[in-house]
Amino acid sequence: MLESPVRPKQPQPELQPRKKQPTFTRHPKLITVVFLCSLSLFAVGICHSYFKKSQQPTPTASSLVSLRSLTPAARQSPLMALINQPERGLSSQQLLDRQRAYYLLAADLIQRGKGREALSYLQELKENYPLLRPQILFKTAIAYQQDNQPQAAQKNLNYLVQNYPHHPLSADALLLLAEQKTLSEDRLIRQFPAHPLTQNILRQRLKQNPNQYQLLLLLAKYSRGQDLNPIRDRLVLEYPAQLTPDDWEAIADGYWRSEEHRKAADAYIFASSIPRNLYRAARGFHRNGNLDTARGAYQRLLREYHDSQEAGQALIHLASISSGDEAVVYLQKAIAKFPEAAPEAYRSKAMIHERFSKYDAANDSRQKLLSKYSDSSSAGEYRWQKAQELAANGNQQDAWQWMQPVVKSNQEQEFAAKALYSTGKWAKELNHPKAATTTFQKVIKLYPQSYWAWRSAVMLGWNVGDFSQLRPLSPTLNLAKTYSPLPMGSAALQELYLLGQHHDAWLMLQSEIERPQQTSVNEQFTEGVLLLELGQYSQGMQQIWDLTKRETPQELEAWRILRQSKTYWQALFPFPYETQILENAKQQQINPLLVISVMRKESTFNPTIDSAVGAVGLMQVVPPTAEWVAAQIGIADYSLTNPEDNIKIGTWYLKHNHQRYQDDSLLAVASYNAGTGNVSAWLQQYDIRDRDRFVEQIPFPETKDYVEGVFGNYWNYLRLYNPEIRQQVADLHQKTG
């Protein structure tokens, strides 16, 4: 089971054009201030740029890859060695790496305010590193400003604006060049509606005067922040007559992404009448329980686009909210016209016939499902449902036999990880050791990210620890960062990412996203990766997790390709706060992967998050517990929003929970979520000998999800960062084909 990283409880404005060339501001520190501000503004948007159509090749791998994640101080010496080597005889790759080294040295110096030293490196780059010329011009201007040479800074900024008018850094340059703040802001709004600086300007102006329709619309169309639904609400309620179908679609997409399905449905009604929009309108009403309205919306889709891909799913959903005979008619149409919808249609038909005691018709539908679509998810789910009924009645032999077609299938199905694991356990209990081994191996092969893959590895005897053996383990970890090109982006964006210039890469990405409210799979993944690199762990992980919500076959295929990469999984299971976690885990003699697994589940690495019950920080410690722990370990002054303090207190408390239960990690983790009183009650009520059954019987859905989530995290960190287990998983995948 791979759980969401989010904890469950918890038209252009009419503006006057500029009438003259800007003159350089006389404020001595303004360039540096705006430059630093631009590094901290993370609003999401789009600005038009020819760079998305760049014909330059994607940058090749480099000897600098190993230096990209080092601190400026740590990489200064090897960078100097690169630029000091004799130019004669160098290969083209070595010459390129030499220019990259100049760039990184200059960027590091500017970050430290040493513009004069940076200028010597930047002068070398103007002609020899054309791929990043806009960035070089901008950094040169900043360096001149730091060296108190305002006229030279102005010259570089003007050259940038004139020669690269659509580049996102031109927006920064315009603001720095401005003689009149209002005119420069107006120009930014016209030319760069999605630039982070523009987004900040829009929000500031709306604070001063909230009744500005055009500014509200720009935010709704070009921003993807967490606080936009109130803005969408205002547009829908106060300005509906002024919204175009394209505006309505952008608003609807924003609602849909934030799972405001009823509001999205209402907005899609006024968007362009394309199959996607009509389908989402119907699904939005359906999910919100507005069944009559949903029925009418589905029927409209079928009338206007009866051959569309969406029509097949519409027939299935329409059948689910229709009377028996009418539902069967819809399902028959789906079977006849949409092969991809046929398995679910047969399964639904069987349930409808059985509901009305038409058992022969129900059996006929199930037989067609099992014979014609044996590898489908619908057939597998039916087999799993039947097998559980057989096992519950004590007939494990028949349950195991009934699941064999699922065991032999190589189709990935959402339900199947748990189903296959249970089938493997039945085989083991029935004394079919070879069959059990094969089934457990298949779980790891097809669902390597799942909680059930860990349970299967335990059953196979791998060195992964079991519930009662995890605390003392100290697995070898390889936490070195690796580089892989992003799945989309211009050559300049890829170059910036290769160099570890993540904010600049993120800024370039905003100019290359086609439609901010309809990001592609690769665009969304790329943004998630860059947010992670910028330390925005919760936002980045959520971006990547939300790819699971994609619906079309094309999107799902793009997502499937991403899931084959190591980058994808390491982005979902990053390892921040490495030093603090490893040091505290060693001090408390507790498996460090348990610590980070609890932390990921509790906070998704957001150090300032708090919960409805008052838990605070990375490991979600409540203040009374923190006060008690601090007294035990002798901390007089601490803050739960300080990562170092929170990790120290949380790790000690996790160790304390293990001591309460004789180092049983299942009980310690369950207690961390539900409390010792509840765990004690469950121990009295349920048999602990079968740990899988005990977890299934936990009566609190949140705690059951928590336990599976933490140990699923543990397994993923082990398979990604422990060389031994990573190799075992790879060998198994290769061996089983």
* Measured CA distances, 468 to 452, 561, 665 (Å): 17, 36, 6
pLDDT, averaged across the chain: 90
Is the same domain home to 500 and 532? yes
Residue 305 lies in a domain: no
* Measured CA distances, 222 to 204, 215, 538 (Å): 16, 11, 21
Tell me the backbone φ, ψ of residue 621, rounded to 5 degrees.
-100, 135
| Mean local confidence (pLDDT), 567-575 | 96
- CA dist 702 and 672 (Å) reads 12
Among 537, 572, 607, where does a domain finish?
572
Q: Which residue shows structure tokens 């999107």?
A: 555
* Measured CA distances, 350 to 353, 357, 384, 454, 706 (Å): 5, 10, 16, 35, 35
**Is 60 exceeded by the pLDDT of residue 3?**
no
The CATH number of residue 726's host domain is 1.10.530.10
Residue 116 lies in a domain: no
Is the same domain home to 731 and 582? yes
Task: For residue 126, give the nearest of 112, 113, 140, 114 by alpha carbon.
Answer: 140
How many other C-beta atoms can be found within 10 angstroms of the C-beta atom of residue 512? 22
Is the same domain home to 518 and 655? no
Is the same domain home to 590 and 707? yes
Residue 175 lies in a domain: no
Q: Which of 41-55, 123-137, 216-230, 261-275 is least confident?
A: 41-55
Residue type, 725: I
Is the same domain home to 722 and 600? yes
CA atoms within 13 Å, Cβ hemisphere of 316: 20
Task: For residue 344, give the nearest of 371, 322, 312 by alpha carbon.
Answer: 312
Q: Which residue shows structure tokens 């979600």?
A: 620
Residue 635 pLDDT? 92
Tell me the backbone φ, ψ of residue 68, rounded to 5 degrees.
-65, -30
User: What are the tokens at 404?
Assistant: 């064999």
For the chain, the helix, strand and coil percentages under 3-state DSSP, each to the nearest 5: 70, 0, 30
Among 523, 538, 572, where does a domain finish?
572
Is the same domain home to 589 and 714? yes
**Counting Cβ atoms within 10 Å, is residue 310 exposed (0-12), middle (13-18) or buried (19+)?**
buried
Percent of the chain scoring above 90 in pLDDT: 82
- 452-457 contact pairs (CB < 8 A, 24+): 452/1, 452/417, 452/418, 452/420, 452/421, 453/417, 453/715, 453/719, 454/711, 454/712, 454/714, 454/715, 454/718, 455/421, 455/692, 456/421, 456/424, 457/715, 457/725
CA atoms within 13 Å, Cβ hemisphere of 191: 24
The predicted-structure confidence for 454-480, as pLDDT tens digits, reads as follows: 999 999 999 999 999 999 999 999 998
* Measured CA distances, 231 to 41, 43, 237 (Å): 20, 15, 10
Among 514, 543, 572, where does a domain finish?
572
Residue 59 pLDDT? 52
| Mean local confidence (pLDDT), 372-376 | 93
**Is 70 exceeded by the pLDDT of residue 359?**
yes
Task: For residue 473, give the nearest of 578, 567, 591 by alpha carbon.
Answer: 591
In degrees, rounded to 5, the angle at the alpha carbon of residue 237 between the alpha carbons of residues 231 and 241 is 110
Q: Which residue has the higher pLDDT, 59 or 50?
A: 59
Task: For residue 307, give the nearest of 338, 285, 349 by alpha carbon.
Answer: 338
Residue 723 lies in a domain: yes
Task: For residue 483, give the nearest of 562, 419, 570, 412 by alpha carbon.
Answer: 570
Residue 347 lies in a domain: no
pLDDT band at 89 (very low <50, low <70, confident <90, very high): confident
- Torsion sign, CA atoms 611, 617, 618, 623: negative
Residue 46 pLDDT? 32
The predicted-structure confidence for 643-692, as pLDDT tens digits, reads as follows: 999 999 999 999 999 999 999 999 999 999 999 999 999 999 999 999 99
How many other C-beta atoms can be found within 10 angstroms of the C-beta atom of residue 284? 27
- CA dist 264 and 282 (Å) reads 10
Task: For residue 399, give the nearest of 412, 414, 384, 410 by alpha carbon.
Answer: 384
**Counting Cβ atoms within 10 Å, is residue 162 exposed (0-12), middle (13-18) or buried (19+)?**
exposed
Is the same domain home to 585 and 502? no
pLDDT band at 60 (very low <50, low <70, confident <90, very high): low
How many other C-beta atoms can be found within 10 angstroms of the C-beta atom of residue 120? 13
**Is 80 exceeded by the pLDDT of residue 43?**
no
- CA dist 405 and 435 (Å) reads 13
- CA dist 635 and 162 (Å) reads 58
Is the same domain home to 562 and 585? no
Distance of CA 154 to the CA centre of its chain: 40
Q: Which residue shows structure tokens 């370990």?
A: 633
Find all residues with CB under 8 Å of 721, minimum gap 6, and list them: 477, 478, 479, 575, 593
Residue 154 lies in a domain: no
Is the same domain home to 603 and 690? yes
Residue 736 pLDDT? 56
Residue 544 lies in a domain: yes
User: What are the tokens at 290?
Assistant: 């507005």
Is the same domain home to 555 and 593? no
**Is 60 exceeded by the pLDDT of residue 524?**
yes
8: DSSP letter: S
**Alpha-carbon Rg for the chain in angstroms:** 29
How many other C-beta atoms can be found within 10 angstroms of the C-beta atom of residue 632? 11
Q: Are 213 and 242 in contact (CB under 8 A)?
A: yes
Find all residues with CB under 8 Å of 283, minimum gap 6, and list them: 261, 265, 294, 317
Q: Which of 50-54, 146-150, 365-369, 536-540 is least confident?
A: 50-54
Tell me the backbone φ, ψ of residue 394, rounded to 5 degrees.
85, 10
Is the same domain home to 585 and 531? no
Is the same domain home to 560 and 593? no
**Is 50 exceeded by the pLDDT of residue 124?**
yes
User: What are the tokens at 562?
Assistant: 């991403």
Q: Which residue shows structure tokens 């159509």?
A: 53
The predicted-structure confidence for 159-211, as pLDDT tens digits, reads as follows: 999 999 999 999 999 999 987 778 889 999 999 998 989 999 999 999 999 99
Residue 527 lies in a domain: yes
- Total tally of structural domains belonging to the chain: 2
487: DSSP letter: S
Find all residues with CB under 8 Å of 677, minimum gap 6, and list them: none
pLDDT band at 45 (very low <50, low <70, confident <90, very high): very low
| Mean local confidence (pLDDT), 598-608 | 97
Rounded to 10 deg, the angle between the 342-355 and 359-372 helix axes is: 160
pLDDT band at 551 (very low <50, low <70, confident <90, very high): confident
Residue 61 pLDDT? 57
Task: For residue 599, give the nearest of 585, 574, 623, 619 by alpha carbon.
Answer: 619
Q: Are 501 and 131 in contact (CB under 8 A)?
A: no
Full domain range(s) for residue 664? 578-735
**Could you give the residue ranges of the DSSP H alpha helices within 534-565?**
537-545, 553-562
Q: Which residue has the higher pLDDT, 32 or 92?
A: 92
Coil vs helix vs strand at 362: helix
Residue 4 pLDDT? 55
